[in-house]
Chains A and B, each alone.
Chain A
Amino acid sequence: MTEGRHPKIVTVALAGTPNTGKSTVFNALTGLRQHVGNWPGKTVEKKSGICQRDGKVFSVVDLPGSYSLGANSTEEEIARDFLARERPDIVVAIVDASSLERNLYLVCELLQLGVPMVVALNMMDVARSGGLEVDAGALEAALGVPVVPMVARNGQGIQQLLESIEAVAEGETASPVDGPRLSPAVQPLLAKLDAAVPADLDIPYPRRWALVKLLEGDPSIRRSMKAALPPDAWERIRNILHQHEQAMLEIASSRYDWAAETYRRAVGRPGGENISLGERADRLLTHPLGGLIAFAAMVFGIYWLMFNLGAPMQGWLNDNVVVRSADALEDALRGWPDWSTSLLANGLIGGAGLVLTFIPILAILFLALAILEDVGYMARAAFVMDRFMHRVGLRGQSFLPLFLGWGCNVPAIMGSRIVESRAARLTTILVTPLVPCAARMVVIALFTAAFFGGAAVLVSWSMVMMNLAVLALAALLISRFVFRGQDSSFVMEIPRYHAPNIRTVLLATGERVRRFVMLAGTVILAMSLVVWAFSSFPSNDVGDSILGHIGRGLAPVGGLMGLDWRMMVALLTSFVAKEQTIATLRVILGTGDGANGALKTELTSIMVPAAAVSFIALQMLFVPCAASVAAIRQETRSWRWTGFAVGYMLTISFAVAIVIYQVARLFGLGV
């Protein structure tokens, strides 16, 4: 305190973590008598002001918000240097009652600094509305310093705070000397350090406090100590610190333990017991088993919507836009050479046009994904899937790229760059193409609707589950026999649930649909024309065309799965883009019978249901599109691994498809 002819000026420092209402308390105490400048040598704002009461003058300093008295930020360093070096007469610790346990760490440090203190327990209304009843009296007893419950923004408690400040200034209340005790494990170490540091050490901090900070690895204190000590003395201290690196953990732990214990005394129960609706939902949605079931149900729900809302729209577009446009074009071009009519009607409209009719189905998928993502569910799905994947050998970070693969495999493969370990990264890259991307959904939608009617949803859902099972098995085998990386432990922050933002959802959906249209209008269109050319030359009879010859070469393999050469050609062209399968089939089948009938009808005439299931499985597990293979090459930087990825997916896809066809025949689906 400053004394003289003028009234005593008591310096009061307001300390607290950010957003605890510190500025509100400062304004309430000082009114218009404020001065705003910068802290010396810093760009951080310094606010100070005068408060007068009963002839006493208080100089109030608003310290920058800080979570501790460390030097983790400029703000923390300013706050702790002012407290430790300037030694204000009184510290008012502004504490957010609704986040009491977290705020008590700083209170613990302030108590350990040994300055006279008052605790302003602010935001009591927020705490109460959150179901938290803080007993200010019990907290006061636990801390040994005055505690004033407040709602500063309403002015509640300001007068009581002033009274407490005055009482402490008058020495009417005692403050603890050492504050909460450090861990017993640290005490001998502190004594050892104390013995190593000369008694006449000249540093601008309290000695014991500085020694504790030294053990905590505080860089600023280390610099001060090193500058103040002879080199050999500093070397001895440095050796002690090096041998006891864990001390910082012990010290911080003892403060957190104290905070938890003090919280229990003030609130009467451990922290973290207020269970919100979102947390209740998470107990199911992030449960190892319940979460997986919920995820599977969610996928089923999306498929149900795709088939019950999207498929009728797709059928309508096909019948009323594609077929009619092709027929009208054929009529309009009557008299033109047959090849030109065929090129435009079958190659252009029949191929790329048909793919575009799947927009409603994909839009529903994209919309559902965007809503689930915006609500916060997808992060939970990724988390649940990660736990599942971890059991089969994938590492923590892998789930994020895998999650992205539901939209498109290319960014997912590129996203694997976030996985640090090379072994885990390669495993992730190799299995990511097994995540069923949206393009595969288009093919599934066509085939299941054509062959399975009301059971289409169930068959589609089963195929997705099959892919995930194969993915898990592949990851298990790759991690078990190819890579044996060290396991790692991760913690993920799950975002809060919130209502979906319509604009965000629509933008995300629109962008994905736009990409699909761009793909159909460029790559698929060009490839449809190439397929048309190959199916029309040198003969108009597709069986004698270039494509026919290629297809017949693949026919023996297709025969094992009940697939004729046309299906094998369609599969082959899916390497360009998965949706190309449909465009190719439309071109081939349209060329073959010269009609523009519904593709679904034509498909059922060339294959039995057993072969259809086999083909769907083949498509789901087949080599990914060319862009994905290029991404694998880019990310692995190895043709060998790229070849391995292509090879193992070829093997798995054919093996599974053959088994499915043969088993399905046994169940009577082969007729």
Chain B
Amino acid sequence: MLKRLLTIIAANDGTSSLDWLAREMGVPLAMAEQLMAELVRMGYLRLGLAACTPVGCAACPARVSCHPPTGVGLWELTDRGRRLLTESPSS
């Protein structure tokens, strides 16, 4: 299930929404969040952005999906995640 989720994320053209991923996976949104957290813990996804901006929270472009203090609701596929899919894409 986790690898399938990674595959969908990597295969999608552009940024995916968590809601869309949950629908694709056929799981509730809360479950999708848990799967994402699991993949972050394993190092296949990275949560958040490269850096906070100098413009402050009120003017930060990421505020639309930011949930202080837990972080920004934006995940990125890591090199480790990409490597996993390259090394064993079929499973």
Contact = CB atoms under 8 A, between A and B. Distances in A.
Query: Which of A246, A252, A491 has the most C-beta atoms of chain B within 10 angstroms of its own C-beta?
Result: A491
A62 interface: no
Nearest to A254: B1
Contact of A420 (B10, B12, B50): B50
B75 A490 contact: yes
Contacts of A252: 2, 38, 42
B16 to A, nearest CB: 5
Contacts of B68: none
Interface of A: 67, 70, 72, 99, 101-102, 105, 185, 217, 246, 248-249, 252-253, 256-257, 260, 270-274, 279, 282, 286, 373, 378-379, 382-383, 386-387, 389-391, 396-397, 399-404, 411-412, 414-415, 417-420, 488-495
B17 A494 contact: yes
B50 A491 contact: no
B64 A249 contact: no
Given A101-B28, A415-B59, A390 B15 contact: yes
28 contacts: A102-B34, A249-B42, A249-B44, A270-B26, A270-B27, A272-B23, A272-B29, A286-B17, A383-B15, A391-B13, A396-B14, A400-B62, A401-B61, A402-B61, A403-B64, A411-B61, A417-B54, A418-B50, A488-B77, A489-B10, A489-B77, A490-B74, A491-B76, A493-B73, A494-B18, A494-B19, A495-B64, A495-B73
B36 A491 contact: yes
Contacts of B28: 99, 101-102, 271-272, 274
Contacts of A402: 61
Contacts of B23: 272
A492 B16 contact: yes
A414 B65 CA distance: 18
B42 A248 contact: yes
Nearest to A274: B28
Contacts of A70: 41
Contact of A400 (B1, B9, B31, B64): B64
Grouping DSSP codes into helix (H, G, I), strand (E, B) and loop, the A interface class, with mixed when no group exceeds half, is: helix
| Interface size class, chain B | 35 or more
Contact of B64 (A382, A387, A411, A491): A382
A415 B53 contact: yes
Contacts of A382: 64
B86 interface: no
Contact of A257 (B1, B64, B75): B1
A271 B59 CA distance: 37
Nearest 6 pairs between A and B by C-beta?
A493-B73, A390-B14, A400-B61, A420-B50, A379-B64, A415-B61
B87 to A, nearest CB: 8
A408 B59 CA distance: 10
B64 A102 contact: no
Given A396-B76, A490-B15, 17 more contacts: A102-B28, A260-B27, A272-B29, A272-B31, A282-B17, A404-B60, A411-B53, A417-B51, A418-B49, A418-B52, A418-B53, A488-B77, A489-B10, A491-B17, A492-B18, A493-B18, A493-B73
B30 to A, nearest CB: 5
A557 B83 CA distance: 54
Given A415-B55, A493-B65, A493-B73, A396 B26 contact: no
A490 B76 contact: yes
Contact of A67 (B21, B34, B91): B34
Query: Which of B25, B28, B74 has the most C-beta atoms of chain A within 10 angstroms of its own C-beta?
Result: B28
B37 to A, nearest CB: 8
B65 A495 contact: yes
A404 B27 contact: no
A118 B19 CA distance: 33
B83 to A, nearest CB: 10
